[in-house]
Structure 1
């Protein structure tokens, strides 16, 4: 093989830069690190999606459950309401299966891409704080999945409310484009999962010295209001049930993050006071 071919298949450009002892990196090295983390996460999600493809029919039944549940509830109250699921275009069923497999792969591999997120943030932390990777993952993984599960069981009521606006005793058919429904559901569940990561993000910022528990306390009222605004904008179904189901846990988790940050700040202050006493003694 010629030297040109060897250079062509050389993947050294993909490797992340060496990590300095103090964790400080140039902007170009940060971008290389980000590229590496994103590529590793993307490969993991693709592999996860391929694994999930073998169970795609079962997964389709799972993702369509909120619609079928809303449909059963509506038709029990309004027997005159006729609802049908449609596929617009020849490729729609195949694309829907791809989207379902991709989202399932995202959930399946969340420990991997959440770890990559932590590994990208860790250089900005002190050496003793970098050891908290397991704690970060132990909190982030169940919180993300809890957000997805919460959104999953909230969506039927939201769809029921929105479809229920079809006028009674009318000849109109309630037609649902299945791929469009799936895209909206994936957006909603992903937003629920990400919103539940709020305390992890805030505590990480506190560990990095970006914010303090006192600052979080002062911003609590504005933050709680922001949670409701974010939930109102983020939920594509625009129903009040989805908005409240997202905003209220976010507000609660914000307060939890504030309490954890205040406790960490107190421990840090005590530790710094002890170190100062030792220095003054010597």
Structure 2
């Protein structure tokens, strides 16, 4: 199998490369998976070695009022006059209620961080397996797929970590049914919430990639997305309200704006795929002698 950045010289070469038995395809896939999983294991091991520093600076960061997002919110509060924006205290403490709870969470956090940092290489390995099965036109259209998928994923992760997670934690920590109820969160619940919001945003930011694939197979069109733009805006606002249950409008706007931009980019991507399809059809008609 050829490297990802090496083009096949002709269609016949593609066909020759595709003449593999089912077992040969499985063997090829197995080695790609082995290398991908190996990269996850390496990054997980490195994360476990420095797990104390990672917990102190990264994982437990959103649980402190000194976190970057909270400081920016306080500055925004000073400029706008909305004092409720400033976060001076997070009303909860973290506990580990199991004997091996901290060790288990160290392993879990190491695995998640290893998966996060190994994502570009792991996806590249899987893409190398898929690439030879595509047509030359599909390979040209999907050029740069690894870069775009990785960039969108990490953009979503950063957005989830610095925007969505702090806003959600601030609301949940300061919401009280009764002052006599004390918030003592288990470390497992805290990390689960942080990971869900962060990785969830990373996947949500793949919207343009999903639009590309769905448009490529003919399920999605730019006309459909434009016709339902208002409906999509309502859904985005609802999602933003769910992700940020805080009553202030600023938090919802901060979450909604990137989602709206992603939707608009998805419309452009769908239109790009449609233009490519029309161009291919016109070239096919010319080659078959249907040119006027």
With normalisation by structure 2, the TM-score equals 0.70
Give a deviation string over 1:177-218, Cα, whole Å, max 9, x none. Answer: 122201111111110100001111211332344433334334
Alignment of 1:4-19 (within 5 A): none
Structure 1 gaps of 5+ residues are 1-18
Contact persistence 2:44–2:113 (CA under 8 A):
yes
Range that drifts further, 151-160 or 187-196: 151-160
Match of 1:8 in 2: none
Equivalent residue runs for 1:51-66 within 5 Å: 51-61=46-56, 62-66=58-62
What's the offset of the Cα at 1:108? Answer: 0.8
Aligned equivalents of 2:88, 2:266: Cα separation in 1: 45
Give 2:110's aligned residue: 101
Q: Distance in 2 between matches of 1:33 and 1:222?
A: 44
Distance (whole Å) between structure 2 residues aligned to residue 165 and residue 113 of structure 1:
40
**Separation in 1 of the partners of 2:36 and 2:222?**
32
Aligned to 1:47: 42
Q: How far apart in 1 are the matches of 2:177 and 2:224?
A: 50
Q: Is the 8 A contact 2:171 2:245 kept in 1?
A: no
| One of 161, 185, 199 as aligned partner of 2:171 | 161
The answer (yes or no) to whether the contact 2:161–2:198 under 8 Å persists in 1 is yes
3-state SS of paired residue (1:109): helix
TM value normalised by structure 1: 0.72
Q: Secondary structure at the match of 1:69?
A: coil
Q: After superposition, where does 1:135-146 map in structure 2 within 5 Å?
A: 135-146=144-155
- Pairwise CA RMSD of aligned residues? 4.0
Deviation, structure 1 residue 265? 1.8
Residue 91 (str. 1) matches residue 87 (str. 2): no
> Residue 153 of structure 2 contacts residue 206 of structure 2 at CA under 8 Å; is this kept in 1?
yes
Cross-structure match for 1:258: 267
Q: Is the 8 A contact 2:45 2:110 kept in 1?
A: yes
Question: Which residue of structure 1 lines up, in the alignment, with residue 199 of structure 2?
Answer: 190
How far the C-alpha of 1:146 sits from its partner, in A, is 0.9
Consecutive unaligned residues of structure 2, counting only runs of 5 or more, are 1-13, 72-83
Q: Tell me by how many angstroms 1:264 deviates.
A: 3.2
Residue 25 of structure 1: how far off its partner (Å): 10
Which of 187, 197, 203 aligns to 1:178? It is 187
Q: Partners of 2:232 and 2:15 in 1: how far apart? A: 36
Equivalent pair of 1:52/1:101 in contact (CA under 8 Å): yes
